[in-house]
Structure 1
Amino acid sequence: MASNDLMVGLEIGTSKICVVVGEARLDGTTKILGVGQAPSRGVRKGEIVDFETAMKCVLEALSDAETKSDVMIKGVYVGVTGAHIQSFNNRGCVMLPDDHEEIDEQDIEDVKINAREVSIPAQNAFLHSIIQHYHVDGQDGVLNPVGMLGQKLEADFHIIHGVRTRIQNTIRCVKELPLEVEDVVFTALASAQVVLTQQQKNLGALVIDIGGGTTDFILYVDGAVKQSGTIGIGGDHITNDISMGLRIPMARAEKLKIEEGSVILGNCLPGETVVLKDDSGFAGKEVERETLNTIIHLRVRETFELLKRTLDEESFINFIGEGIFNLRLSESPIFNCDRVDQICASGPGRATAAARIRSHFQPFFTRDTMKELRRRARRSSPLQKHQTNFLTRNRQGTTT
């Protein structure tokens, strides 16, 4: 196989390192040759905090991918995330000289540069300039202006940027192995390219990727990226809440979350419990299932509330006609419920789907979390009251 037919993606996540090896086919599809994984260490909230440790984990995942795909990896496309990632929309404009009325590739590049001529923090660097729409002499909806005649070329871009040194740390970690970095991509953008069809992008869709330490999102309207970003909360925060609220080790909390937890309240029998068997250094414990589910529910709802608050800064959330796609909801048992399946389902039309999304997200976005905690405390057992008070005291900050 030709080396230029190979594509390798690398994501340095908070909970795991993942390497995917693919082969480009003539019909435009990609055949997955192998997937390598390794537990992640030295990474916090999607960013490297221990360079040497993280590099060893990346090497372990790469070796696993090479073994499974029978391919020697020389270069990778690297996914980046982190709460430092920001984005905005901006329009660029260039005027063509009188003796140069036909638009060419250089004009396309010039209008992109013009769109980037905005003030961003000095420590930040541009990551992506994603085209939304072109306008030629006031004509809207131009898909490709190259070759067209005009005097004024405008273009709307969605621009993603982040802290330069944090992005460079990820790149340096890969180059030290040593590997070539083919390109760097915001992980939510990469996820959307795989998850969404062009029709879904045209109808409007929101992709949410709940990772271990962060939650990435990207929103499409009329085929173009309108909003994107990262929230510094992920699945590890749920695990930490369970560990602290139930006073059990982190490893047991993670296992309990995956195997027994649910985000939906009221689905278990009154007094139903989960028994944690004793282990070395752990005497075992019996916990109420509804208490476990409440801890999970509150953290997930907080995540959605923060996401909704971010999305409400613009009005694009009202135009996602195809629905909401969550990469982790479909994988994790804690989200395996009819309600979330309905939230994630695609809709037949824009108005109907938007109404369905609003109705199903209503409990997450409008109910006051602390008020709900106090209400549950008043009718709960003494043990549950102690756990509820504990969660209330710690809800002001994000636990890591």
Structure 2
Amino acid sequence: MPSDQIFVGLEIGTTKICVIVSEGRSDGTISILGVGETPSRGVRKGEIVDLTTVSECIHEALIDAEEKTNVEIRNVWVAISGSHLKSFNNRGAFMLPEERDVIIEEDLKTVETNAKEVSLPAQNIFLHTILQGYHVDGRRDVIDPISMECQTLEADFHIVHGIKTRIHNTLRCIESLKLGIEDVVLSSLASSQVAVTQHQKDLGALVIDIGGGTTDFLVYYNGSVRHSGVLPLGGDHITNDISIGLRLPMQRSELLKIQEGSAIDPGGADLGTITLKNDLGFLGCDISKTSLQIIIHQRVHEIFELVRKDIEGSHEGMIGMLRAGVMITGGSSRLRGIATVAEDVFELPAHLTRAKEVGGATQTFENPQFSTAIGLTKYAMAVSENIPEESVFEKLTKGIGGIFRRRSR
């Protein structure tokens, strides 16, 4: 098996660390060879707080993946999350010199550089510069302007940036294990590679990936990324609410959420009681199922409301233009009734989704908690030919970003 057709995605999540090994196929799809995972320690709300412990967890997940796939892992594609990641849209412009009226490759680099001529917070660096479309002398949405005659070339980009030290700490964790880092990818961008189809991106879709400690989201319109964001809220916060509201241990609250939980608003209905049996260190009790459901509904509703507020704060009216609706993935998307709450908040059709157009280990791609890690390998296959020779540290320091003058799909 050619090594250049093997792609490894690494997701360092709040609740789990996951390594996906995939093989690229000639038809542009991927086949999952195996997954390695381990419970996450040293990560809070998607960000590393204990480098040594996280490095140990990554090592465990890597060993697990290597043993299951018989592949020696030397390089990885890394997902990154955290509420420090911010984004905006900007346009770059370039007037061709008088002695030339045909667009060349160098002009595309120049217009991208010009789009990033903005003031970021002093501690931040560019992560992604995602092309939305070119404009040639006012003609919009040109796909490939090379060799076209033109006086003024413009291009729109979605630009993602974050705090340098937090991004670099993730990289140092990985490099301490003598691993090469191919690229760093926004988590929501990774999961959207497999969670939504190209047709849905063209129609307009909101992709929401709800994990343990964060909710990552991305808006597509006319096939391009228009907005992205990260909330420091996820499934763990629902569990914590249950623990506090019902006065239960965290482990029992998590189990209760999985087995009996629903995000649907019970209204005034009496849903009866749930009897919790005695367990080691826990005295059994009866709890109100209505109370449980109210607690879950309130937190899920809040998460979706915050996503909507974030999008509308930058793009008023955009949500109503997303004809494909809301696509929900991630480990916490398995919560019963979550799509119903999304439909109420966004006033759009909402669907649960997982990795699509993927072959191999069925149980892996059917589980939405692996969408980000699987998406990393799909992303890797799509852009690997455009990755430069320089290291990821050098690239981030220069602020080049993870996508190089191409429309992100």
TM over 0.5, shorter chain: yes
Asked if the contact 1:35–1:65 (Cα under 8 Å) also holds between the matched residues in 2, the reply is yes
> Counterpart amino acid of 1:277?
K
| Cα distance in 2, alignment partners of residues 60 and 329 from structure 1 | 21
Aligned to 2:153: 153
Say which one has the larger Rg: 1
Once the two structures are TM-superposed, the CA of residue 328 in structure 1 deviates from its matched residue by 3.5
Once the two structures are TM-superposed, the CA of residue 205 in structure 1 deviates from its matched residue by 0.3
Aligned to 1:377: none
Equivalence map 1:100-139=2 (5 Å) = 100-139=100-139
Q: Report whether the alignment pairs 1:320 with 2:322.
A: yes
Once the two structures are TM-superposed, the CA of residue 203 in structure 1 deviates from its matched residue by 0.6
RMSD: 1.9
| Cα distance in 2, alignment partners of residues 86 and 7 from structure 1 | 27
| Cα distance in 1, alignment partners of residues 80 and 271 from structure 2 | 44
| Cα distance in 2, alignment partners of residues 31 and 177 from structure 1 | 26
| Cα distance in 2, alignment partners of residues 26 and 102 from structure 1 | 34
Secondary structure (helix, strand or coil) at the match of 2:336 reads helix
Once the two structures are TM-superposed, the CA of residue 140 in structure 1 deviates from its matched residue by 1.1
> Counterpart amino acid of 2:347?
R
Once the two structures are TM-superposed, the CA of residue 269 in structure 1 deviates from its matched residue by 6.8
Equivalence map 1:1-400=2 (5 Å) = 1-266=1-266, 270=270, 272-313=272-313, 314-315=315-316, 316-328=318-330, 331-335=333-337, 339=340, 343=343, 357-358=346-347
> Counterpart amino acid of 1:300?
V
| Cα distance in 2, alignment partners of residues 334 and 97 from structure 1 | 60
Asked if the contact 2:212–2:331 (Cα under 8 Å) also holds between the matched residues in 1, the reply is no
Asked if the contact 1:278–1:284 (Cα under 8 Å) also holds between the matched residues in 2, the reply is yes
| Cα distance in 1, alignment partners of residues 256 and 279 from structure 2 | 14
Q: Unpaired segments of 5 or more residues in structure 1? A: 344-354, 362-400
Once the two structures are TM-superposed, the CA of residue 266 in structure 1 deviates from its matched residue by 2.5
Identity %: 53
Secondary structure (helix, strand or coil) at the match of 2:122 reads coil
| Cα distance in 2, alignment partners of residues 307 and 295 from structure 1 | 19
Asked if the contact 2:266–2:294 (Cα under 8 Å) also holds between the matched residues in 1, the reply is no
Asked if the contact 1:329–1:335 (Cα under 8 Å) also holds between the matched residues in 2, the reply is no
Once the two structures are TM-superposed, the CA of residue 333 in structure 1 deviates from its matched residue by 3.9
> Counterpart amino acid of 2:276?
L
Relative to structure 2, which stretch is displaced further, 266-275 or 111-120? 266-275
Q: Provide TM-score, normalisation by structure 1.
A: 0.83
Higher relative contact order (CA 8 A, sep 6+): 2
The aligned length equals 348
Asked if the contact 1:20–1:35 (Cα under 8 Å) also holds between the matched residues in 2, the reply is yes
Q: Provide TM-score, normalisation by structure 2.
A: 0.82
| Cα distance in 1, alignment partners of residues 152 and 10 from structure 2 | 41
| Cα distance in 2, alignment partners of residues 282 and 258 from structure 1 | 18
- 1:255–1:159 distance in 2 versus 1, CA, 3 Å: same
| Cα distance in 2, alignment partners of residues 271 and 295 from structure 1 | 14
Once the two structures are TM-superposed, the CA of residue 357 in structure 1 deviates from its matched residue by 4.8
Once the two structures are TM-superposed, the CA of residue 356 in structure 1 deviates from its matched residue by 10
| Cα distance in 1, alignment partners of residues 335 and 136 from structure 2 | 50
Q: Unpaired segments of 5 or more residues in structure 2? A: 351-409
Secondary structure (helix, strand or coil) at the match of 1:92 reads strand
> Counterpart amino acid of 2:48?
I
| Cα distance in 2, alignment partners of residues 105 and 249 from structure 1 | 60
